[in-house]
Amino acid sequence: MKAHVASVGMYVPQRRMSNSELTELVDTSDEWIYSHTGIRCRHIADDSEAASDLAYHASIQALEQASLEPAQIDLVLLATSTPDYPGLPSTASIVQDRIGAKKAGAMDIAAACTGFVYGVETARAFVSSGAARTVLVIGSEVYSRILNWRDRDTCVLFGDGAGAVIVKRSDEEAGQSEVLDSFLRSRGSGARTLLRPTGGSRTPFVPGETEIESTRLSMDGRRVYMFAVGALTDVVNYLLERNNLTIDQIDHIVPHQANIRIIDAACKRGRFPPEKFFTNLEEYANTSAASIPIALHEMVEKGRLQRGDMVITVGFGAGLTYGGNLIRW
């Protein structure tokens, strides 16, 4: 059985934070941030909003676009590194309840910025095996809660947001639309290049001893950059080769929206046409697992992504994980 992407939704918090606002928190400038990342602003959740709230809004939009009732969903997959609660319960279960998906299973996917790519492939596998007919795949993040707002190396890079797609068993209506292939990899030897060092079972939070900064995101930016350029190039090439395609047969590449320089460098290294890459990180910064579905949604809204178009998504991030999906939209 084949699976296709039936619809896509997104949600970002109202509050926009510009680069110049960040200059009040850390020693930085709009010029540095824009020239080193391509980011101009990011959206920040208000105190009442958690990952499940952002996910809820994106999911309702995806359900409406697909003309589906919540009870038709068999499985809710939610990719996040910023769950409502640490470890349990899953944020997916909270969303499942809130949208009224009464007949669905629910679980979170922990693959950081590659989480949405992993989610789409998991959904495809469930649908093509016959284990599920309709799967809601969400990427939802509130990185503003896990950043060290005194660390200029990291706090300028991320934003909050959510995106969701419905992956559904293909029927005649779907035409040729299909999730054709995926590529998932992990390089766990790089686990410590991007992490929250304290607060898990390895190094628990000890009241009175643990410094709050060590519970926040910490990153070796240079190493992640090098990894990301290689990963982005490799994923595109692998999916092309395995499917006997050339880059000319691909309409859009939708990379994880981390840094424009990563995308530019991968374009040069892989000799990929830059105009095939969609970017919106200037407005949203890096929303981790949410960045690819937010990009897909904007492409559809702008009429840039049409049924039948060939799309490659590419994720990369903590783990270190990386991967991509080949989709005939």
Least separation in angstroms between CB 42 and ligand UT7: 13
Asked whether position 21 contacts ligand UT7 by CB under 6 A, the answer is no
Asked whether position 152 contacts ligand UT7 by CB under 6 A, the answer is yes
Residue among 56, 47, 44, 193 nearest 113 (CA): 193
- Give the residue, chosen from 113, 132, 162, 281, that forms a contact with ligand UT7 under the rule CB under 6 A: 113
Helix (H, G, I), strand (E, B) or coil at 58: helix
**DSSP-assigned states of every residue in 2-17:** -EEEEEEEEE--SEEE
Asked whether position 37 contacts ligand UT7 by CB under 6 A, the answer is yes
Helix (H, G, I), strand (E, B) or coil at 170: coil
| Cβ neighbours around 274 below 10 Å, total | 12
- Give the residue, chosen from 81, 259, 321, 325, that forms a contact with ligand UT7 under the rule CB under 6 A: 259
Of 4, 43, 113, 325, the catalytic one is 113
Asked whether position 265 contacts ligand UT7 by CB under 6 A, the answer is no
Asked whether position 28 contacts ligand UT7 by CB under 6 A, the answer is yes
Of 43, 256, 259, 297, the catalytic one is 256
Task: Provide long-range contacts, Cβ within 8 A and 24+ apart, for 296-299.
Answer: 296/5, 296/8, 296/163, 296/165, 296/254, 297/8, 297/9, 297/10, 297/163, 298/10, 299/252, 299/254
| Contact (CB, 8 A) for 79 and 289 | yes
Region near ligand UT7 per CB under 6 A, out of 5-13, 27-35, 71-79, 230-238: 27-35
The residue of the chain with the least Cβ separation from ligand UT7 equals 221
Nearer to ligand UT7, 135 or 228 (CB): 228
* 113 in active site: yes
| Contact (CB, 8 A) for 255 and 266 | yes
* Residues found near ligand UT7 in the complex (CB under 6 A): 28, 32-33, 36-37, 113, 152-153, 156, 219, 221-222, 224-225, 228, 258-259, 286, 317
As annotated, the active-site residues are 113, 256, 286
